[in-house]
């Protein structure tokens, strides 16, 4: 069953900071591609959260983004699913 995601306040802050960074240091096109990838990640996670590796063995899932060096960490047991962090991987 698909559910909608929500951003934890810290994830929202990290998300907006990354958008600003890509907009200022790359281009609007890159920033928009980042937005699209985060939205796609949230959709895939909500569609089937059990497909993704857990990082703590109990309830925090991790989705690795494909085009950007970030992981999306999410709470697997809450409805709506909470996107906890957008963690830089590099």
Q: For the chain, give every domain's residue range.
A: 5-88
Which residue has better confidence, 18 or 46?
Answer: 18
pLDDT of residue 60: 86
Instruction: Please check whether residue 63 is in contact with residue 74, taking contact to mean a CB–CB distance below 8 angstroms.
Output: yes
pTM here is: 0.82
Q: How far is the CA of 90 from the CAs of 59, 70, 87, in angstroms?
A: 24, 8, 9
Q: Which CATH architecture has domain 5-88?
A: 2-Layer Sandwich (3.30)
pLDDT, one tens digit per residue, over 27-75 is: 999 999 999 999 999 888 888 888 888 888 777 888 999 999 998 888 8
């Amino acid at each position: 069953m698909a559910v909608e995601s929500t951003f934890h306040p810290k994830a929202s802050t990290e998300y907006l900071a990354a958008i600003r960074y890509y907009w200022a240091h790359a281009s609007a096109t890159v920033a928009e591609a980042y937005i699209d990838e985060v939205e796609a990640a949230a959709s895939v996670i909500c569609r089937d959260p059990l497909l993704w590796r857990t990082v703590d063995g109990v309830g925090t899932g991790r989705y690795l983004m494909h085009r950007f060096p970030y992981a999306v960490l999410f709470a697997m047991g809450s409805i709506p699913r909470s996107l906890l962090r957008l963690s830089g991987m590099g």
